[in-house]
Amino acid sequence: MTAAATAPAEPLARTLFAVPGMRCAGCISKLEGGLAPLPGIASARVNFTSKQVAIEHAPELQLPDLQSAIAGLGFEAQPVRDGGLPADKSESRSLVRATAVAGFASMNVMLLSVSVWSGAEGATRDLFHLLSALIAIPTVAYSGRPFFRSAWNAVRHGRTNMDVPISIGVLLVTALSLFETLTSGPHAYFDGAVMLLFFLLVGRLLDSVMRDRARDGVTALLKQRAVGALTIGADGKTEWRAAEDLAPGMRMIVAAGERLAADGIVESGTSSLDLSLLTGESAPRRADVGDAVHAGTLNLDGPLTVRITAAGADTAIADIARLMEQAGQAKSRYVRIADRAARLYAPAVHTLAILAFVGWMLSGAGWHHSLLIAAAVLIITCPCALGLAVPAAQIVAAGALMRAGVLIKDGSALERLAEANRALFDKTGTLTLGRPVPLDLDRLAMKPVILALARASSHPLSRALRKALEREGIVAEQVEALVEKPGFGMRGRYLGLPVSLGRPNAAAPGLATAFTIGDLQPALIRFEDGIRPDVRPALGRLAELGLESSIVSGDTAASVAPVAGQLGLTAQTSMRPQDKLDAIARLSAGGAKVLMVGDGLNDGPALAAGHVSMAPGSASDVGQMAADAVFMGDSLAPVATAILVARRTMRVVRQNFVIAIGYNMIAIPLALMGLVTPLVAAVAMSGSSIIVVGNALRLRGAAK
């Protein structure tokens, strides 16, 4: 989707525009192909999911110049900030209202039409036609606006899109029906016009909702940044600044419990940071003077003074958001087929309708009859059945999976799940439960004292220890002078003796904490992050389906090895987000269709870049948003179930394509021969849609 480059001056500037008027592949081609030849523009890349176009251009080109260039192609565009996506859901709300109005009007107009079909004649028939007109004309004017507005924007700039023939067909049928009503004619086709609008709006609403969900993933990630920070001026005075006002060179204070608003270097203080956003490590990591820290990470223990090195769109978390956005631009095979069909649809339908009108005029049929046949051609060629072939099956299958504990978020996810032939799993929180559990508590002495220390800390291991001891009914002793030392843990005094619960020595294996009292040898308390139930059967089922599995983890080799050994999987460890992207790219280059299963914020880019992705319900908000599907509960079995249902769904989709194409092969010649009225065309079009939906409903029990 990248336009050919010109030879702009260096360095290039990049500007991002929201283009809500994009409707089909023809719009993408028009934008990218139309902007490329313009002087000063190096490239234009469309993201159809977010309806945005990114332009790389010479710095001397200003915003109004670029907006004028886009307007010259027939699109309205508004600049948006790089690194973020607009959260405007007004289009979906507007489509919901238009669909509801069209659906309600369709039911009422059809009731009146049934009375006419039953034999009403004369004044009674004229009255029913007039009532139908009073309902249908305002409905067409209101619910048809999305199509009329798009068609008008295209026509007034000398181009066409798939909304042009739809608009012509609806307006032509409505006008002829009004003419019949005013002249007491025998036939009116208001029912066909409003029914056509209703089916078209349902498809457009589904498409809009899916795009909203795609945008929510990046929005949730960017929310991990703090909204601002307390900065220290050169005179020592402190001032709170919003995140967008922070700049490299400033110094900011990050208190315990706060997230960082920018990337930087620690100038003073020590603390433990939750770095799972970048590294995937489940254990907090110590941060001392001189260490690099990143926006979005959580300061757990003590206050830090940080010198800012990158802010706003230059931070690591913004890079992750951009990776997710770019990775989401890939198109699936069935979407590409639909795009190619959309390119051919408008000119083909226009040609057929004109040929029908001219041919019947030349044969002496008269303008009224010729227009009716042309309108019937426009309606009967409406690609409703073809448009429903994929989403109807996807929606029914998604409902079946939802009842089985799998939430499908992207309409094309099932298509990509069916194609997956390689599986990559994150470890912590994906193959394991992500909930550390203390081991060998029975051998532990001084439990009441340990509980007193653990409950005074918010550290993840302290919380896990507190819950385990409280489940045993342990009651805490009175420990005095409790204090939490940043980077170490809790200290206090019990019966005059010093006690502590905190970081063990460096030789301690895996997750662990150490309890000491007086001069006695520290007691090591180890923790285990348990493997999910049904992991082995699920991996075996995936293998039967032809999916080889392995681990890609940000954790250290020592942490991953026990899990990999138990499950018999190969593993790559200490991987940052870019490393996981590279691993997916290498597999994809070799022809693999990668299913990525992960849960952490650091898995976001990999989840977006995988051919398809899944996240557990316990995953972070960003992980859930970035994934194509979310499975609920602790079991990993739904991952294999989703693959099975997806493959069955694709068989139904292919059947629906055959039905839709067969319908058009039969119906179009009949319409051209004048054997189909606009009403019959609308009924036939609706009938083909119903058959397609009925076939899709067979998937309701697919997940059982």
Distance between CA 615 and CA 606 in Å, rounded? 11
Mutual orientation of helices 163-182 and 367-380 as an angle, nearest 10°?
A: 140
**CB 618, CB 423: distance < 8 Å:** no
Tokens, residue 23: 């409707």
Give catalytic status of residue 207 as yes or no. Answer: no
Token match 């223990």: residue? 301
Would you say 28 and 78 are in contact if contact means Cβ atoms under 8 Å apart? no
Q: What is the 3-state secondary structure (H, E, C) of 86-98?
A: CCCCHHHHHHHHH
Q: Name beta bridge partners: 438.
A: 527
CA distance 586 to 594: 10
Query: Which residue do the tokens 């007039």 mark?
Result: 130
> Cα dist. 506→25, 282, 434, 514 in Å?
58, 17, 23, 11
Tokens of 8: 């702009």
Catalytic residue among 426, 529, 555, 628: 426
Cβ neighbours of residue 519 closer than 8 Å, sequence gap 6 or more? none
In this structure, the number of other CB atoms found within 10 A of the CB of residue 670 comes to 15
Helix (H, G, I), strand (E, B) or coil at 357: helix
Closest alpha carbon to 503 in 457, 470, 468 = 457
Angle (CA) 311-317-318 rounded to 5° is 65
Structure tokens at 590: 């070799």
Q: Is 82 helix (H, G, I), strand (E, B) or coil?
A: coil
d(C-alpha 146, C-alpha 101), whole Å:
13
Under a CB-based contact definition with an 8 Å cutoff, are residues 397 and 649 in contact?
Answer: yes
Q: Using CA atoms, how far apart are residues 461 and 439, in angstroms rounded to an integer?
A: 12
Element (H, E) at 235: none
Phi, psi (rounded to 5 degrees) for 454: -65, -40
Residue 427 tokens, joined:
């470890």
- How many helices (H) and strands (E) in the chain? 21, 26
The neighbouring-strand residues paired with 548 are 422
Active site (catalytic) residues: 426
